[in-house]
């Protein structure tokens, strides 16, 4: 079975929340996985973390896997502490 990845967004460090909200909106049209590129994001703040939680919930509801690419160790640790890391897949 081939998985289509029809939504791929680059997350800008200054607009993390907006980009995550846009990603949530695009889940309705998604077929397969959604990839978000975090390579330009050095850290995530509480509002970004809340947006990540909302995205994970929306993706779970729609049965869509969200793949995070380029996540640095600090962001991964925050996701792990917030018990969100298991709700995402990670790629280099």
pLDDT band of 7, cuts 50, 70, 90: low
Residue-wise pLDDT for 20-64, tens only, equals 998 888 888 777 788 999 999 999 999 999 999 999 999 999 999
In a domain, 1, yes or no: no
In a domain, 80, yes or no: yes
**Token reading at 20:** 């995550």
- Nearest CA to 91 out of 56, 67, 73, 66 is that of 67
Contacts of 42 (CB under 8 A, 6+ apart): 13, 72, 74
Residue 3 reports pLDDT greater than 80? no
Give the CATH number of the domain where residue 57 resides: 3.30.750.24
What's the domain range around 53? 7-91
In a domain, 41, yes or no: yes
Distance CA 19, CA 40 (A): 13
In a domain, 16, yes or no: yes
Cα angle at 91 between 90 and 92, to 5 degrees? Answer: 130
Q: What is the total count of domains within the chain?
A: 1
In a domain, 19, yes or no: yes
Q: Is-contact 30 86, C-beta < 8 A?
A: no
Q: What is the pLDDT of residue 2?
A: 45
In a domain, 33, yes or no: yes
């Amino acid at each position: 079975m081939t998985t289509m990845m029809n939504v791929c967004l680059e997350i800008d460090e200054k607009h993390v929340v907006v980009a995550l909200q846009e990603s949530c909106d695009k889940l309705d049209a998604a077929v397969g996985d959604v990839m978000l590129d975090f390579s330009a994001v050095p850290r995530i703040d509480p509002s970004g973390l809340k947006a990540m939680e909302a995205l994970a919930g929306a993706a779970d509801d729609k049965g869509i896997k969200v793949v995070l690419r380029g996540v640095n160790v600090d962001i991964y640790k925050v996701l792990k502490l917030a018990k969100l890391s298991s709700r995402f897949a990670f790629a280099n």
